[in-house]
Amino acid sequence: MSDNTLLSTDAIRERALSALRRVGITAPEGTGLTARTPITGRPLFELAATTAEQAEQAVTAAQTAFRTWRTTPAPVRGELVRRLGDLLREHKDDLADLITVEVGKIRSEALGEIQEMIDICDFAVGLSRQLYGRTIASERPGHRLAETWHPLGVVGVISAFNFPAAVWSWNTAIALVCGDTVVWKPSELTPLISLACSHLLDRAAVEADAPREVHRLLLGNRGIGEKLVDDPRVALISATGSTRMGREIGPRVAARFGRSLLELGGNNASIVAPSADLELALHGIVFAAAGTAGQRCTTLRRLIVQRDLADEVVDRLTAAYRKLPIGDPFADGTLVGPLITAAAAEGMRHALARAEAEGGKVLVGGGRRLADEAPDAAYVEPALVRMPEQTAVVREETFAPILYVLTYDDFDEAIALNNAVPQGLSSSVFTRDQQEAERFVAADGSDCGISNVNIGTSGAEIGGAFGGEKETGGGRESGSDAWRAYMRRATTTVNYSSRLTLAQNVSFL
């Protein structure tokens, strides 16, 4: 399908500034950080970066605010998050504009990200009245044994470019109702949406009569994030990014006995079994593999198809890939926008070359689009690659729209292929065989944190805990009981008798 005509960089700049004005802020002009757009690959304007001294002051302010915020009743803390959710609803279109400007997401995906933020605010408001502990049966007469959850402290959030607002909201909405304060260091590629979100939370704090210092924003490069990682006053570091980043952050936080919540790489697979509804599978596969231009941590990167079905599935996917509309993410009908940087496109080209060297065949895609119209941007055709086996390149995560197709003979082999990678985030199976479906989600099935049946690997709801195993880091964010990562547990024994009875029948004095 033909590409769309791109907006000019000047038009994109004005769209971004207009969205910021409607949110209520003027971009802090200065030096140290460049706002740019992947739509044209060009810079928009310069921004003031956070200095080391300002980062120190932000943590100090958050630590001071925590002393008050931790004793504020949780339902009152929930009112701050409720007001944030209202403001997100009010400015949903403006925030979606900023995400498209800075990330290149198509309109429906950008709006979907803001809806995800609204949803987590609703969830967190309800959670503010459900931070339950428990009473435990004591072995001693006249004693009560209980478990209570208390606020943890300052939470440092380090977020990635691909979900620049949603991941922040997962952490921040939950942390705030848990009684923590937050210092946020977003990706340097997405300062505008970060400024907008932070401003709305500041406004919510004023309107909810909460301390403004419960949240602080740091704009800058890696060095600013490292200050959060190494600061002993930051009780929890929640970091989203690459496995390489996690390998650096985890040991540094552990060395100071801090906590870390890591959401790292994904190399997600879907199995297509003989009984699968192929039309349903096709829709799930194409969205999971090509949506967000392959730049989700849950993007489908490996397709494991029963051998007898492989040719038909590949033919249907090839036809679908040839029709994918690639171009301006603001334009109606576009399904695939740009990669975030030219470096990402180079990584894709390198991975495809390796795949061919390892015996693979590129069936469709892999080429560049809009090179004349936007020479500094990175528009690529999602690629479908038939592989003879799960080679070295297939076992690695390339953050681009490459889908490797593998085959299997029996279901045990399919599960083994799914699990035989270092990452363990998301997985799925397409089958109408109940035995296969149940086996896939059983203890000896998929080893991933997310295991889906008859749906793709992308598109998680906020109600479930989000995260994965192995090199994905083991963290859990968003729903279910993920809130416990943001609190500390206290076990309490109350003796309301007139005797001091020791546990385990110990006798002393």
* Spatial distance between the Cα atoms of 155 and 234, rounded to a whole number of angstroms: 6
Of 328, 400, 372, 365, the C-alpha closest to 3 is: 328
- Is residue 7 within 8 A of residue 330, CB to CB? The reply is yes
- Is residue 325 within 8 A of residue 336, CB to CB? The reply is yes
Paired tokens of 390: 């799960």
Paired tokens of 198: 């932070």
Selected catalytic residue, list 188, 263, 471, 477 = 263
Sheet holding 143-151, edge to edge: 134-136, 143-151, 487-495
Instruction: Pick left, alpha or beta for residue 145 (phi over 0 → left; psi -120 to 50 → alpha; otherwise beta).
Output: beta
Work out the burial of residue 169: count CB atoms within 10 Å of its CB; fewer than 13 is exposed, 13-18 middle, 19 or more buried.
buried
H runs (alpha helix) in 370-459: 411-419, 434-440
Active site residue 147: no
* Spatial distance between the Cα atoms of 175 and 156, rounded to a whole number of angstroms: 10
Q: For residue 57, give every residue at least 6 positions away whose Cβ sits within 8 Å of its Cβ, in sequence order, or none.
A: none
* Spatial distance between the Cα atoms of 298 and 126, rounded to a whole number of angstroms: 27
Cα of first residue to Cα of last residue in the chain, in angstroms, is: 86
Sheet holding 259-263, edge to edge: 215-217, 181-185, 154-158, 234-240, 259-263
- Is residue 217 within 8 A of residue 188, CB to CB? The reply is no
b/e per residue, 367-376, with b = 16+ CB within 10 A?
A: eebbeeebee
- Is residue 181 within 8 A of residue 65, CB to CB? The reply is yes
Of 153, 78, 91, 155, the C-alpha closest to 121 is: 78
Scanning the structure block, which residue is given the tokens 């309490």? 492
Amino acid 379 reads Y
* Spatial distance between the Cα atoms of 66 and 213, rounded to a whole number of angstroms: 9
Of 198, 183, 182, 187, the C-alpha closest to 163 is: 187
Three-class secondary structure of residue 234 per DSSP: strand
Residues involved in catalysis: 263
